[in-house]
Structure 1
Amino acid sequence: MPLFLKVFTHHQKKLLLVAVYAAMGISAVPVPAAAGSLRDKIMERRQEKQEQKAAQNAKSDGDQNEMSDADTTNISVAGLPPGTRVLRDIAYGSDQRQTLDVYLPAAVIAHLDMPVIVMVHGGAWKVGNKTARGVVENKAAHWLPKAYVFISINYRMLPDTRPLEQADEVARALAMAQGRAAEWGGSRSKFILMGHSAGAHLVSVLASNPAIASKAGASPWLATISLDSAAYNVKQIMERKHYRFYDDAFGSDPAYWQAVSPSLLLKQAAAPFLAVCSSIRPDKPCAQAEAFVTKAKSLGMLAQTLPQGLSHADINKNLGLENAYTAAVDKFLKEVDSSLP
């Protein structure tokens, strides 16, 4: 036994060893109840740091890209197919943050009535940017050559705009994009709503309560793809031990928790829904995703879960690469509409 352990009691030794194991990422060890609680705290703090780091990276990437690409159109963007055309900062509201970017395939690929993907970035409802590489690059590189239009949106965030109002902004962006789709060669009837993390929560709110989108002037869309949301049942999250950033987003009012919980909002069948989830995150987002999908199926809705052994960040940035994950998303879209490229 190491000399330093001799000064601890037997119980303290167990707690110390569990803390060391947890810090090393080792979980397959006997864990007493008190030690399990300590390990949970360590894992919780680690996940919070990962969320914060991902959000900071998204903000950093967005700032860098915005500096290099601001006020430019009809350019080839690094990492995207040659001939990609980009329409930057198209306003859908009066605030400078209410803008979107439209990525169009090269003229030799583009044609009329193309399907349109609208992407909503994440960042704990408080940071992030539509130009971040993980949000755009691989997805656009995959779907533009298939003759899709790809749109990435910004929206106002915490602390001045709360999640329910953010969902309304996404709906307004969707409505504007549908109204102008023909200008870009897109089909109003072939919109796919996609979001990651906080953005996944926002598109899930719209999917479960389409009246929000309808009120904003949006038409029904073809499908919703949620990339690793862990907030389908916000009420359940807030009534249990949870990450502190959820308090910033959802506050302390149970009525508000109800109003932003996709699982509780879902009352009738809506557009087909794909819930991608990380099977390796400590907060187990796949459990909430599966509960939502089960309820959706019971209402007669086409809904699927797609668990992936990827980190929260990789769920976002790896979509579009040549891998089984991207192939599974394409397969889902074909099931929704066999005419999709």
Structure 2
Amino acid sequence: MTQSNHAWRPLAYTTLLLAAFSLMASQTAHAGPLRDWLASRHAQGAPASTDDNATEDDDQPARIDQLPANSRVIKDIAYGSDPKQRYDVYLPAKPNNAPVIFMVHGGAWAIGDKRHSKVIENKIWHWVTQGTVLVSVNYRLVPDAAPLEQAQDVARALASAQQKAKEWGANPQRFVLMGHSAGAHLVGLISSQPDLAKQKGALPWLGSVMLDSAAMDVVSIMESKHHHRFYDKAFGNDPAYWRQTSPLHVLQPNTAPMLLVCSSKRDDSCPQAEAFAKAVINNRAIASVLPENLSHSDINGELGLPNGYTKDVDQFLASLPGFKRP
């Protein structure tokens, strides 16, 4: 493992500097998300769907009426005029200059919701009980908004949450971005070019956690043969737009530290994460990859449970100056 400019390098992680992985980044996206979703639906006795937009973020709403003791939720804070431009805020019992995890759901850019159980439930019980604020964001979806507009929605929501943070007992300078699947792509797109968020009024943030995105290099996906219609529905047929929405191709130097979690059960996710992290490091910034032997769905749903995976993500968060109190 090649050294980077980051003191935090547990052996469980892969910090990417192997050139061979850049060749693997062009591999076609495979059926991980849809296959897992169909299998889970079949196991529950539901009919199989042929809609490529279906992913395992299509789960049940969390029981937000059963929050940890003395915590509370502020629902549907508007950051725009569209009904989808809303976010929820989960507050610990006594927030005091608290850090904030800013969570962006997935769903193939076309479905999903900020209150789905795998998006928030275990994260609430883990981080909110420790004094961290959790913000869960909705954004406009395909076909009403394409991915670049969705990223701009996320940036607007981030700016709004930072502006309101002190009202909640949180610190606007102690934000960490987190997203799953398509949400991880949107977080990656903003994290690659912080100017996009700055233009919407957002302040700098401490770091970003991308949970199992296989779309860090949109250009390679769209130029290759792929089997998922949702890529075509989201990104269209304009190569210039592919580059605009590809985190790898808009990457700026000196970005905030990034952790890319990837499912080793999929063929596409870890190679894309490895190639992207290598590019981040080459641009004088910090990036690490955490492969997990979990399905695409469980990468999201099991984060926050008392396991080694959650511990490793916590270690990344603790490495960010300002996230944990001295």
Q: Is the 8 A contact 1:203 1:224 kept in 2?
A: yes
Other-structure match for 1:257: 242
Q: CA deviation at 1:49?
A: 4.0
Aligned-residue identity in percent: 49
Other-structure match for 2:276: 292
CA separation in 2, counterparts of 1:285 and 1:339?
A: 27
CA separation in 2, counterparts of 1:296 and 1:159?
A: 31
Other-structure match for 1:198: 182
Q: Secondary structure at the match of 1:301?
A: coil
Q: Gaps spanning 5+ residues in structure 2: where?
A: 1-26, 42-52
| Residues 297-331 of structure 1: CA deviation (Å, up to 9, x unaligned) | 11221111011000000000100011111111111
List aligned pairs for 1:32-181, cutoff 5 A: 44=30, 48-50=34-36, 55=54, 58-59=57-58, 61-62=60-61, 77-78=65-66, 80-107=67-94, 110-111=95-96, 113-181=97-165
Q: Secondary structure at the match of 2:242?
A: helix
Q: Is the 8 A contact 2:277 2:289 kept in 1?
A: yes
The alignment of Structure 1 onto Structure 2 pairs a total of residues equal to 285
1:239 partner letter: E
Q: Secondary structure at the match of 1:224?
A: strand
Range with greater deviation from structure 2 (328-337 or 160-169): 328-337
2:258 partner letter: F
CA separation in 1, counterparts of 2:263 and 2:172?
A: 31
1:319 maps onto 2:308 in alignment: no
Distance 1:214 1:45, change over 3 A: closer
Q: CA deviation at 1:335?
A: 1.3
Q: Is the 8 A contact 1:118 1:150 kept in 2?
A: yes
1:335 partner letter: S
**TM value normalised by structure 2:** 0.83
Other-structure match for 1:12: none
1:226 partner letter: M
Q: Is the 8 A contact 2:126 2:305 kept in 1?
A: yes
1:216 maps onto 2:215 in alignment: no
Q: Is the 8 A contact 1:122 1:196 kept in 2?
A: yes
Q: Secondary structure at the match of 1:160?
A: coil
Q: CA RMSD in A?
A: 2.1
Q: Gaps spanning 5+ residues in structure 1: where?
A: 1-39, 70-76
CA separation in 2, counterparts of 1:57 and 1:254?
A: 29
Distance 1:248 1:188, change over 3 A: same
Could you list the structure 1 runs, at least 4 aligned residues long, displaced by more than 2 angstroms after superposition.
43-60
2:93 partner letter: A
Tell me: higher relative CO, structure 1 or 2? Use CA pairs within 8 A at least 6 residues apart. 2
Q: Is the 8 A contact 2:33 2:55 kept in 1?
A: no
Q: Is the 8 A contact 1:51 1:124 kept in 2?
A: no
Q: Is the 8 A contact 2:33 2:296 kept in 1?
A: no
CA separation in 2, counterparts of 1:45 and 1:190?
A: 36
Q: Is the 8 A contact 2:72 2:90 kept in 1?
A: yes
More helix by percentage: 1
Q: Secondary structure at the match of 1:265?
A: coil
1:332 partner letter: F
